[in-house]
Structure 1
Amino acid sequence: MDFPLPPVGEGLLEVELTRWLVRPGDAVARGQSMAEVMSDKASMEVPSPFAGTITTLSAAPGTKIKVGQVILSYTPVGDGSAKPPSPSPLSSGRGDEERQPTPQTPFPKKEGGEKQKATSGSSLLRGEIGEGASPRSNGHTTTLPPAAPSVRMLARKLGVDLSLVRGSGPHGRILLDDLTPYLTPRPSPSARPASAPSGTDTSKLDFGIAGTRQKLIGLRRRIAEHMVESKKHIPHYSYIDECDLTDAVKLRTQLREPLAKAGVKLTYLAFFVKAVARALKEVPIVNSTYDEAAGEVVLHDKYHIGIAVAAPSGLMVPVVKDADKKDLATIATDIERLGNDAKSGKSKLDDLRGSTFTVTSVGGIGGLISTPIINHPEVGIMGVGKVVKRPLYDANGALKPSDIVYLSFSFDHRVVDGAIGAAFGNAVTRYLQTPAVLLLPETFGG
């Protein structure tokens, strides 16, 4: 029998097959995951609605497959009553309501489901999973909220109590995005992050295997496409400056222990994000995007700073929202949470959207200078190298040991001229060299 790809999400007609989880000759049970597919940077597993033996696989990893397209064939076992799901879009109306036994009778266990993980700031799969209310009692039966069968299976497989999930859809309906905190990550074997904040564990990076060929599949391919789009459309230029971080190092040392007691991990990245947010207010043109179709530069009045994270699934850019309104401790807390979520595949869609400027760091691995690619459609990015001890002359001409970091900026030359880029770099450097100012509210700190 042929098995066509079932509906995988609201409005999705095509996905990429990233890998098979079964092979011809494998016996599969109902609910067993058979393949992993991806739309944008959201991936999910396709469960088996049948019990049987796989005979053929009809698509290769890395290819696009459409809903309703036959992706494998199988020989059913048992009573043979199992049928592949209809490829037509799923309804969320009355036909999706499901009756369950009375509360005194244990609910039957139903296997199967999909897994979704969020990565970079593109749209994720969105599917409805019914009302966010407790099951409704109706005589001797209990009715669960209406939901697409595939999504309902995901909730069961994750063991999620829908009555505890706050729906973000119309009228409080629970969407697939609302379940992302409950998802278990599935690292991509081909992930090769390009840059990351300090503290990166290189043992988790994929360095490849000599003498082999690797096809760009899934997230790795989408990262490549995004980088090509950025370089194709944006005329980059680089600006590099040296920053004396000595006072910031001392301040971090003084604050690290008391903040640690409060459960806050203060890294240098928090200082960089805060300094960038302040500098963007001084040079608003850098906090913008270029609308090519309209030929307009859109200057933003929000200061959402993206931070590049080397996650097992690939390079991700979660966003510190409203960085200008947050103190160092709050920014540090956000950075730790966002980084941990990205590395474990639990990033929420909202955490990956809306950045207006990006900060990326190779210092945790060990580099002085980089030429980062702009996170399209932004017009600037700042790369941070490692902090090193160097002798510098002070104002009196005497040599003194100093903590130095190199800041590497890339700008969109259509929007940011060299002089403006230098002015922005000077502003960032000034705030980092007088870090106590970053502890003050903007009304006092400039």
Structure 2
Amino acid sequence: MINSMSREAVRFLCRTSLKRSAPIVASGFQGPRRVQRRAFSRTGALKVVKPYLLADIGEGITECQVIQWFVKPGARVEQFDPICEVQSDKASVEITSRFDGVIRKLYYEQDDMARVGKPLVDIDIQSEISAADEALLKNGSEKQTDKEAPNPTEPADEGLEVGRNDTKAAIGDAPLPQPQSLPSEPPKDEPKSRIPGKHASLATPAVRHRIKEMNLKIEDIEGTGREGRVLKEDIQRHVQSLKETTGAAASAPIPAAQQVEDQTRPLTPIQAAMFKQMTRSLSIPHFLYTDNVDFTSLNVLRKKFNANKEKASRLTTLPFIVKAVSLALQQYPLLNAHLDTTTDSSKPQIQIKGSHNIGVAIDSPSGLLVPVIRNVQSHTIESISAEINRLSGLARAGKLSSADLSGATFTLSNIGSIGGTAVAPVIVTPQVGILGIGRARAVPAFGENGEIIRKEECVFSWSADHRVIDGAMAARCAEAVRQNLEQVETMLVRLR
């Protein structure tokens, strides 16, 4: 009886029980039952705005410069999607997302200095629901706001509210409607945009440095690289188009010359690091020493080795110099050390390093960088050359890591690759020595029998921390390096 009358009973009860919820006796029931109107509830999307902190990207790094943003507020990101690129005093790093969600806030503008451990962006975490469910919830809430709010004193008797999208099914004389089905195609997600504008603000540090030198805006340059990345060729093409535009307008009257205003801009991360380092170096009393080194026999050996070699495999003089310095440091280990004056300023300590981690200064598009060749004492000259080529390529591309730039125990500055014969190199703390290499040149000299001969000569300029290194030790170390290079065959015999 109950089963056969359940449909009619439910309709009857729904129409009458809503009126003050009075007890109703239905035919076929044993006694009165109080029936009250109930509605299904729905739970909205769980949205948690989570601040994304800038993690530690390297030892001793407390701040870094925001080079470019890959997202903007409102853009949807997924885990491991790139958010921005930052530049420290050592290397550039691409920051990726750890969550799925929507970017709500950027805490820094481009070129601002971001602090490590502080919020970088706010991400609205929405991983608990799918995009289709989120669209349905949003659609339902919009429909609900369009309708007039019901009077609380007179409940509506349309029926039960069912479904997460607020679809109302009225239980009355009309047949029950079928539940609303999900759309055949899920609504499109919010834009997951890596490119914030018409043109992508994507470029390597070398390209960005070139753009700044030419006073151009990266947004004005059409990028033809992957994902709209701006290449060097794009800069040249953009400059050429500007010249053509200027040439077309050459017939126009030339306006009066405008006075060029002064510009004030903050230091780049690399410049800021150099500022701090050189300020600390001012406290070091430098002992300076120069000597001429004959490269004649070394260049003869190099030419023999480089014969029939591809350009990438040819040896320069720099790998030989690096190895010669390492052999000299084995004889004079005090020059391969760090001076610790911070642990206890009243009792300085010197830490003699077992490994020869030699830094080689490189002039990169973004500034002076000093990548480190580790364990030179275990390298061959050929492997040193390969490591120099690898580090130079990373420096030009702005891809050196913090590990590539830290831990040097001695430094070489090959200033001769740019120009100049002699230099007074500045010691990089906490190291106690540095060698500056001038440009090699051909000079006239006297032979064994007094005849005039041609020699290839280079000036080596040494600086040592005179607080712990005396002049005699620095001169002996420099003499050992000179003999290793001038008698290169003897040096090769000593290699491991």
TM-score by length of 2: 0.55
Question: Which of the residues 365, 369, 373 maps onto 2:418?
Answer: 365
Q: Distance in 1 between matches of 2:193 and 2:295?
A: 53
From the superposition, tell whether residues 21 and 405 of structure 1 become closer, same or farther in structure 2 (CA, over 3 Å).
Answer: same
Q: Match of 1:238?
A: 288
Aligned to 2:218: none
Question: 1:20 deviation in Å?
Answer: 5.2
Give the letter for the 1:15 counterpart: E
Offset of 1:423 from its aligned partner?
1.2
Cα–Cα, structure 1 residues 264 and 210, in superposed 2: closer, same or farther, change >3 Å?
A: farther
> Which ranges of structure 2 fall in alignment gaps of 5 or more residues?
1-48, 125-131, 139-188, 195-202, 211-231, 233-259
Is 1:240–1:408's contact at 8 Å kept on the other side of the alignment? yes
- Partners of 2:296 and 2:53 lie apart in 1 by 57
Change (3 A) 1:19 1:343: closer
Corresponding residue of 1:317: 370
Structure 2 Cα separation of the partners of residues 58 and 73 of structure 1 = 14
Go from structure 1 to structure 2 and tell me whether the alpha carbon gap of 1:53 and 1:372 turns closer, same or farther (over 3 Å shift): same
Q: 1:210 to 1:282 in 2, by over 3 A?
A: farther
The match for 1:264 among 307, 313, 316 is 313
Which residue number corresponds to residue 174 of structure 1? none
Aligned to 1:147: none
Residue 275 of structure 1: how far off its partner (Å): 0.9
- Residues 1:440 and 2:493 are matched in the alignment: yes
- d(CA) in 1 for partners of 2:360, 2:103: 46
Could you tell me how far apart the structure 1 residues matched to 2:354 and 2:493 are? 21
Aligned to 1:253: 303
Q: Percent identity?
A: 26
1:216: how far off? 0.4
> Can you list the C-alpha shifts for 1:31-67, whole angstroms capped at 9, x where unaligned?
786654345534445568776898x976673444465
Q: Post-superposition shift, 1:440? A: 1.7
The separation in 2 between residues aligned to 1:340 and 1:17, in whole angstroms, is 22
Q: Deviations over 1:118-163 (max 9, x none)?
A: xxxxxxxxxxxxxxxxxxxxxxxxxxxxxxxxxxxxxxxxxxxxxx
2:450 aligned residue (378, 397, 417): 397
Matched-pair contact (CA < 8 Å) for 2:302–2:315: yes
User: 2:51–2:123: 8 Å Cα contact kept in structure 1?
Assistant: no
Cα RMSD (Å): 4.3
The one-character-per-residue Cα deviations of 1:223-267 (angstroms, maximum 9, x if unpaired) are: 3222222x2342223211111111111111111125x25962301
Look up the SS of the partner of 2:443 in the other structure. strand
Query: 1:223 is matched with which residue?
Result: 274
1:282 aligns with 2:316: no
Q: How does 1:42-441 map to 2 (within 5 A)?
A: 42-45=91-94, 61-65=111-115, 67=117, 69=119, 185-187=204-206, 189=208, 211-229=262-280, 231-257=281-307, 260=309, 264-292=313-341, 293=344, 294-441=347-494
Q: Would the aligned equivalents of 1:235 and 1:413 in 2 still touch at CA under 8 Å?
A: yes
| Offset, 1:27 | 7.9
* TM-score (structure 1 length as normaliser): 0.61
Q: How far has the Cα of 1:22 moved from its partner? A: 8.2
Q: Following the alignment from structure 2 to structure 1, what is the Cα–Cα distance between the partners of residues 261 and 324?
A: 42
Secondary structure at the counterpart of residue 399 of structure 2: coil
2:290 is paired with a residue whose SS is strand
Residue 270 to residue 51, structure 1, CA distance change in 2 (3 Å): same
Report the equivalent of 1:6: 52
Provide Cα deviations, 1:166-188, integer angstroms capped at 9, x if missing partner: xxxxxxxxxxxxxxxxxx95348
Q: Say if 1:381 and 1:410, in contact at 8 Å, map to a contact too.
A: yes
**2:148 corresponds to:** none
Question: What CA distance in whole angstroms lies between the structure 2 residues aligned with 1:391 and 1:350?
Answer: 44
More strand by share: 1
Q: What is the match of residue 125 of structure 1? A: none
Number of aligned residues: 327
Amino acid at match of 2:63: V
Task: Give the partner amino acid of 1:7.
Answer: L
Give structure 1 stretches of 5+ with no counterpart.
83-107, 114-183, 192-202, 204-208
Deviations 1:391-445 (A, max 9, x none): 11234333211001011111111111112111111111111111112222348xx
Instruction: Mark the CA change 1:11 to 1:385 in structure 2 (over 3 Å): closer, same or farther.
Output: closer
Is the Cα–Cα contact under 8 Å of residues 247 and 435 in structure 1 kept in the other structure? Answer: yes
Cα deviation, 1:350-391, whole Å, max 9, x if unaligned, reads 433332211111222221111122122111111111110001
Change (3 A) 1:111 1:383: farther
Task: State which structure, 1 or 2, has the greater radius of gyration over its C-alpha atoms.
Answer: 2
